[in-house]
Amino acid sequence: MGSSGDATRRDVLKVVAGGTAAASLSTELTGGSASAASAPDFSGETASGPYNFLFILVDQQRHFRPGELPNGFPLPAHDRLRKAGTTFINHRINSCVCTSSRSVIYTGQHIQQTKMFDNTNFPWIKSMSTEIPTLGDMMREAGYYTAYKGKWHLTREFEEVNKLGSPTKIFTAEMEEYGFSDYLGIGDIIAHTQGGYLHDGMIAASAGSWLRGKARQLGTQGKPWMLAVNFVNPHDVMFYDTDAPGTPIRQQPGLTPLARDPVDPLYAAQWQFDLPATHRQPLDHPGRPKAHTDFIQSSDAVVVPIDPADDARWVRRHNYYLNCMRDVDRNIATLLDELQASGQADRTIIVMTADHGDIDGAHFLHGKGATAYREQNNVPLIIVHPAYPGGRETRAISSQLDLAPTLVAMTAAAPEKKAAIIAALKGKDLSPVLADPASAGLNAVHDGVLFNFNMLASVDGDFVYKALDFIHKGGKGNQLKAAGIVPDLRKRGAIRSVFDGRYTYARYFSPKQHNRPASMEQIRAFNDVELYDTQADPLEAKNLAASKSNGELLMAMNEKLNRLIDAEVGEDRGAMLPGGIEAGWEVSAETMKGF
């Protein structure tokens, strides 16, 4: 956290060679080349007033390492942002799925505090409390006008009131309760089948209209603003029909309708690539937690299974995923063009990230859920700041928990005001890294990043299939319990994990057995464990926890995870789950003593 280092950052900035002038940022965002000039003081202000903020959030986009994208694969808007900004190549999520991660992003707090441990689509999740300060509330307190466009996924009503094609309500008033104005949206129906393809253009147009009108009006009034723009794609890949083109459309076996590639030249593109090296790693491979099997079973029940042996289906899925990324890229380009045309690009900080990634065929998995693999947990983060040169990268590990304190730290509010706004947050201010990102080490900001996963919907894959079969035969959802169809919550589908820049350690446990293991015996008694050396094994293919010879390393990482939980969460006993602690979501202290 910490906004008290402004004077230090100014001193550092003054000695940074070159620097990017505000005017040169405009050149980069339009695709031109920037000329070096002296950078302004890092005070949260330009000569013409405070910086504005454009926050761009995409859905389900993983970070790609060099060489992982096809040759010549075009993402021109992403390239514009990279050339103008600083890319954090080790940026990590703190939770998934959509609702869980977005609650962290927009509050700066873990799911144990937000209580958004599963998607709002499910009956055991309530809307996020309006008593929890959001990024909108924080930026308003810092003196900014805040606006929101696009996907939200933190309020149940956004899922339930409207129907596709016949919206009945605009949720602007509801979003005011969460600290954002000018929503003018119809809720989260936009995130369903082909939601990105059908609605991201609308989100970009609404944001562009806001930049043309409200942003310019605020500019003339000297009022700084923050605009949050939340696109859907590449999330459309969740509901993709992998059947071969030209084959008959079959009856949808899952809960959610599927769709093939839209009839659009963008989606006609075919790319050359290999499937991931771990694609054929069996789910029962030694050392793999059983949670992976239940997760993919649950996911497949909602949509449709992808035959593990049918490489052509996996190729079609990945090709579609790539084109979904291109689709959202063209909408980001529209947004950047509108910002440029508004005349405010040279005094606007841009932050672009994703709520989570996609496992994308690695480890025989797809989508997101009960894993801690890199393809899911490592997402893009680019910060474009007019006071700094662009085209740079940093290895420093960072997380979504850092976004709220970082944005507040970069405002023009007084240092003591900023410190008060983010005093309760556990994330760190990333802005000092911008001064010299290349020299920032892996642990310049964090010793480790904490990942929490408590989705109940994917704990028991067998239950999901039994429930669907019951409903398909005429049963009702509220009759499942009476019919004896209930999830087995003894299965180890919850996760606590830490990534420290080299090692990823994850322990999987039953949601009925929240535990804080302090010995190897306790770890093994209540958890399935993964441990990867991502330096020696970047594909995360060899689970070091499977060998007793790595016991010392495993215990060290377990202690690191415990310290992070203590520091950032406090008590981690399942209090956010239905019924609270009294419902019995933890291993008792007496039981723990027996190991």
Q: Can you give the residue ranges of every domain in the chain?
A: 6-193+206-229+338-449, 459-489, 493-593
Between CA 339 and CA 343 the distance in angstroms is 7
The predicted structure's pLDDT at residue 467: 87
Between CA 117 and CA 162 the distance in angstroms is 24
Residue 595 scores a pLDDT above 60: yes
pLDDT confidence bin for 26, thresholds 50/70/90: low
146, 136 Cβ separation under 8 angstroms? yes
How many Cβ atoms sit within 10 Å of the Cβ of residue 481?
Answer: 9
Residue 43 scores a pLDDT above 90: no
Distance of CA 282 to the CA centre of its chain: 27
Between CA 354 and CA 333 the distance in angstroms is 16
The predicted structure's pLDDT at residue 35: 31
Q: Which long-range contacts (CB under 8 A, 24 or more apart) does 437-443 make?
A: 437/86, 437/392, 437/393, 437/394, 437/396, 438/392, 438/393, 438/394, 440/394, 440/395, 440/396, 441/395, 441/396, 442/90, 442/395, 442/396, 442/397, 442/500, 442/501, 442/502, 443/396, 443/397, 443/500, 443/501
CATH T-level topology, domain 6-193+206-229+338-449: Alkaline Phosphatase, subunit A (3.40.720)
- Per-residue model confidence as pLDDT tens digits over 338-387: 999 999 999 999 999 999 999 999 999 999 999 999 999 999 999 999 99
Residue 163 scores a pLDDT above 70: no
Between CA 44 and CA 410 the distance in angstroms is 5
Q: Which long-range contacts (CB under 8 A, 24 or more apart) does 171-176 make?
A: 175/148
Distance of CA 215 to the CA centre of its chain: 27
Which residues, other chains included, contact 244 with Cβ-Cβ below 8 Å and sequence gap of 6+?
A: 312, 316
State the helix-helix crossing angle for 311-341 and 195-210, rounded to 10 degrees: 10
**Nearest one of 239, 328, 398, 334 to 59, comparing CA atoms:** 328
Q: Which of 17-26, 66-75, 200-209, 421-430 has the lowest mean pLDDT?
A: 17-26
Q: What is the mean pLDDT of residues 103-124?
A: 94
Strand ranges inside 251-365, DSSP E: 348-354
Identify the sign of the CA torsion 159, 154, 157, 144.
negative
State the helix-helix crossing angle for 22-29 and 311-341, rounded to 10 degrees: 140
User: What is the side-by-side strand order in the sheet with 528-533?
Assistant: 449-453, 494-499, 503-509, 528-533
Q: What is the mean pLDDT of residues 550-573?
A: 98
Between CA 426 and CA 446 the distance in angstroms is 11
Q: What is the mean pLDDT of residues 221-243?
A: 96
Between CA 128 and CA 131 the distance in angstroms is 9
Among all chains, which residue has been given the structure tokens 């339930």?
A: 160
Residue 594 scores a pLDDT above 80: no
**Token digits of residue 10:** 């100014």
In DSSP terms, 378 is beta-bridged to 92
- Per-residue model confidence as pLDDT tens digits over 411-457: 999 999 999 999 999 999 999 999 999 999 999 999 999 999 999 99
Residue 189 scores a pLDDT above 50: yes
Strand ranges inside 402-526, DSSP E: 449-453, 494-499, 503-509
The predicted structure's pLDDT at residue 293: 97
Between CA 249 and CA 271 the distance in angstroms is 24
- Per-residue model confidence as pLDDT tens digits over 280-301: 999 999 999 999 999 999 998 8
168, 162 Cβ separation under 8 angstroms? yes
216, 38 Cβ separation under 8 angstroms? no
The predicted structure's pLDDT at residue 2: 38
Between CA 501 and CA 30 the distance in angstroms is 34
Residue 168 scores a pLDDT above 60: no
Whole-number average pLDDT of the chain: 90
269, 323 Cβ separation under 8 angstroms? yes
The predicted structure's pLDDT at residue 587: 83
**Token digits of residue 338:** 């509108």
- Per-residue model confidence as pLDDT tens digits over 443-454: 999 999 999 999
476, 548 Cβ separation under 8 angstroms? no
The predicted structure's pLDDT at residue 1: 41
Distance of CA 166 to the CA centre of its chain: 30
Entry pTM: 0.91
**Token digits of residue 25:** 């940022």
The predicted structure's pLDDT at residue 3: 38
Residue 213 scores a pLDDT above 80: yes
Helix (H, G, I), strand (E, B) or coil at 438: helix
Residue 33 scores a pLDDT above 50: no
Calculate Rg over the CA atoms of the chain. Answer: 23
**Nearest one of 454, 125, 464 to 294, comparing CA atoms:** 464
Q: What is the mean pLDDT of residues 214-241?
A: 96
Task: Give the architecture-level CATH label for domain 493-593.
Answer: 2-Layer Sandwich (3.30)
211, 338 Cβ separation under 8 angstroms? yes
DSSP class of residue 212 equals I
**Token digits of residue 309:** 């042996």
- Per-residue model confidence as pLDDT tens digits over 474-523: 998 889 889 999 999 999 999 999 999 999 999 999 999 999 999 999 99
Residue 39 scores a pLDDT above 50: no
pLDDT confidence bin for 591, thresholds 50/70/90: confident
pLDDT confidence bin for 30, thresholds 50/70/90: low
Q: How far apart are the first and last CA of the chain?
A: 37
Q: What is the mean pLDDT of residues 238-256?
A: 85
Between CA 64 and CA 379 the distance in angstroms is 8
Reported as type and span, the H/E element at residue 463 is helix 461-472
Between CA 42 and CA 431 the distance in angstroms is 10
Between CA 505 and CA 552 the distance in angstroms is 13
The predicted structure's pLDDT at residue 302: 81
- Per-residue model confidence as pLDDT tens digits over 316-349: 999 999 999 999 999 999 999 999 999 999 999 9
pLDDT confidence bin for 20, thresholds 50/70/90: very low
The predicted structure's pLDDT at residue 4: 36
Q: Which of 148-162, 234-248, 310-324 has the lowest mean pLDDT?
A: 148-162
Between CA 194 and CA 235 the distance in angstroms is 8
Q: What is the mean pLDDT of residues 81-102?
A: 98
Q: What is the mean pLDDT of residues 109-135?
A: 94
**Nearest one of 585, 304, 284, 283 to 454, comparing CA atoms:** 585
Between CA 329 and CA 334 the distance in angstroms is 9
Q: What is the mean pLDDT of residues 86-97?
A: 98
Of 494 and 15, the one with more pLDDT: 494
